[in-house]
Amino acid sequence: MSRADGWILASIPMAMGLFCVAYGCYVFSSASGAPYFIAGHVVAFLAAICLALFCAAGTIIRQLRGARPGPVNLALPALAYVTAMGTFAWGLVLAGAQSDSPHYITGHIVCGLGLITACVATVTTGATRSTLIPENSKSGSREHQARAFSPRVSLTLIAVPVACAATGFTWAGVLLADSDGGSAEHFIAGHVLIGLSLICASLVALVASIVRQVANVYGSRERTIWPWTVFALGLVNLVWGLILVVEASQAYWVTPGWVMIGLSLIQFSILSKVTLLALAWRSTSSLANLIARIPAWNALITLFVSAFLFQAAVSDPGAVIAARVLVGLAAISAAIWPPGQ
């Protein structure tokens, strides 16, 4: 891969991040009201995930180009983790507002985005030794790779997305328990946080696949287990979202329902990466090029859905937030697309 090609591919997540910031600020400033405050801030903070994806893409592309290990190998994961911590911290500030404030919903969702960013930062860390994956795959040896992460570090890396998912699910459970009294704010924040936590859980499979292939301990059963796990988690998000939309007894059910559907498409984009790792491990597949395009298709599907929601928002206030957030989620799928990630 030439340096020019590498920069072009790495620039896609960064471009999507800049788009999220610009579009989010535009939504926030173009109209007053809680829906625009929530949608604008959420879309703008999706840029944190895009920045982490840029770090992951940059790390992998440097590996593919045969770049020598250096400060950049430490700087890119560090930048991603700092972004995650900053995003989560700002989410906590916003979530500290009164529960009837738009800041409350926004803060909880932004915290969820911070958790996902931390998971992507862990993918970036694992990718610093991704050149060992094709080497291990070709060797056919079953011995532990001496240049891989130590077993303790490997477990720590896998534990990060596990902890993020557990944190999100627990927090969401508390919010949903509090929504029994009819609180729209708790209901929306809780369900969206469930969807974001399901993405963290999906990223466990990606981190585990990378780390275990780097260590040369990736088993044949894992080629099936990890992809199907991500597929099942994505299906949970999709079906849960559809239930909220179809069975909506309150107008505000539509908002988290459509957002969860959009989040499920991001999970299917993650599924493409997990599946490609499985297919390429000591084998080849004619489906690889087709599967690699799934994130791009998901981005288009998400945009098409958001177009319908923009029209629905004319008469359905519950679609106002979802229509705009789905545009940002389309940018995330596009940021996941670059080959090599």
330-340 pLDDT, tens digit each: 999 999 987 55
User: Which amino acid is located at 286 in the chain?
Assistant: S
Confidence of residue 183 (pLDDT cuts 50, 70, 90): confident
Q: Which of 225, 223, 199, 229 lies closest to 123 in space, CA to CA?
A: 199
User: What pLDDT is attached to residue 69?
Assistant: 67
Out of 61-75, 204-218, 246-260, the most confident range is 204-218
State residue 26's pLDDT score: 97
How far is it, in rounded angstroms, from Cα 111 to Cα 93?
A: 10
The pLDDT of 227-237, averaged and rounded, is: 98
Position 18 in a domain: yes
The rounded mean pLDDT for the chain is 93
Element (H, E) at 294: helix 294-312
Q: What is the tally of structural domains in the chain?
A: 1
* CB environment 42-79: b (16+ within 10 A), e (fewer): bbbbbbbbbbbbbbbbbbbbbbbeeeeeeeebeebbeb
- Which pLDDT band holds residue 194 (cuts at 50, 70, 90)? very high
> Which residue segment(s) compose the domain that 289 sits in?
3-336
For residue 199, tell me if it sits in a domain.
yes
The pLDDT, as a whole number, for residue 71 is 81
Tell me, yes or no, whether 215 lies in a domain. yes
Helix, strand, coil percent values for the chain (each to nearest 5):
80, 0, 20
Decide if 141 is inside a domain. Answer: yes
Lowest model confidence (mean pLDDT) among 60-64, 168-172, 204-208, 324-328:
60-64
Q: Which of 79-83, 135-139, 216-220, 317-321 has the highest mean pLDDT?
A: 79-83
- The whole-number pLDDT of residue 157 equals 98
Mean pLDDT of 226-245: 98
Of 63-72, 102-111, 285-294, least confident by mean pLDDT is 63-72
Residue 300 pLDDT > 60, yes or no?
yes
- The residue with greater pLDDT, 191 or 64, is 191
Q: Tokens in use for 231?
A: 């597929």
Residue with tokens 């199907």: 228
pLDDT at 339: 57
Identify whether 341 is part of a domain.
no
With beta carbons less than 8 A apart as the criterion, state whether 334 and 308 touch: no
Q: Quickly state the pLDDT bin for 250 (edges 50, 70, 90).
A: confident
Residues 6+ apart with CB under 8 A from 11: none
Cα–Cα distances in angstroms (integers) from residue 119 to residues 152, 185, 254, 313, in the given order? 18, 26, 28, 33
Q: Which residue has the higher pLDDT, 64 or 233?
A: 233
